[in-house]
Amino acid sequence: MDWLLARASSEIGLLLAVTGAALVIGLPIVLWRRRRLGWTKAAWITSVEAAMIGSLLFIGVLTLGSFGVGGHGQFNVVPFGSLIESLDQGEFYVQLTVFDIIANAALFIPLGMAIGLRFPRMKIGVCLAALVAVAGSIEVVQGALLARSGDITDVITNTAGGFAGYLVAQILYRGWPYRRQTG
């Protein structure tokens, strides 16, 4: 158990270092953009882009790091098949599988929000295609290159979470009083 905590803390430390570097890099970008866009819009766009990149980095570290359990290069192509299997294994496995589904959806909510805030006029189909591409790529890498398991359920729940974030961002954007400046 101690090795897992040590490994998790090292990956979280790496993530924090990369996020800090992104913020340090972001300040000159704001200064450069402010001439053309003004302070408010430059800071807004750069912040949302940093959030998008940070979300992608966090997703990458969490899903492709050492947190995964083995699956030996398997691909589960039956949607919610693990949930169906867990019904026969008892309440604990059902709870574990439901937690996994909720966690996979929640993981992509910030990315969906960042996409929706950075590109408020993006069509729904384009957003869904981008989310499916990111989630699908992760599962292919997990199943093919990392000798873990790729799961269609994860693609579905990641995409659903990202899309929920995108919808929240659209609602927030419509209520944003300065949307003419940021769009």
Per residue in 39-59, pLDDT tens?
777 787 888 888 888 888 889
- Nearest-5° Cα angle at 174, 169 to 177: 115
**Segment among 31-45, 74-88, 114-128 with least mean pLDDT:** 31-45
Share of the chain above pLDDT 90, in %: 31
Q: Which residue has the higher pLDDT, 140 or 180?
A: 140
Q: Which residue has the higher pLDDT, 69 or 27?
A: 27
pLDDT greater than 60 at residue 181: no
**What is the token pair recorded at 131?**
């989310």
- Nearest-5° Cα angle at 49, 44 to 50: 100
Closest listed residue to residue 101, CA positions, set 126, 82, 78: 82
Domain count of the chain? Answer: 1
Share of the chain above pLDDT 70, in %: 79
> What's the pLDDT band for 75 if we cut at 50, 70, 90?
confident
Contact (Cβ atoms closer than 8 angstroms) between residue 158 and residue 110: no
The pLDDT tens digits of the residues spanning 97-141 come to 899 899 999 999 999 999 999 899 999 999 999 999 999 999 988
Residue-number span of the structural domain to which 78 is assigned: 2-182
What pLDDT shows up at residue 68?
A: 54
> What's the pLDDT band for 10 if we cut at 50, 70, 90?
low
**What is the token pair recorded at 86?**
């867990």
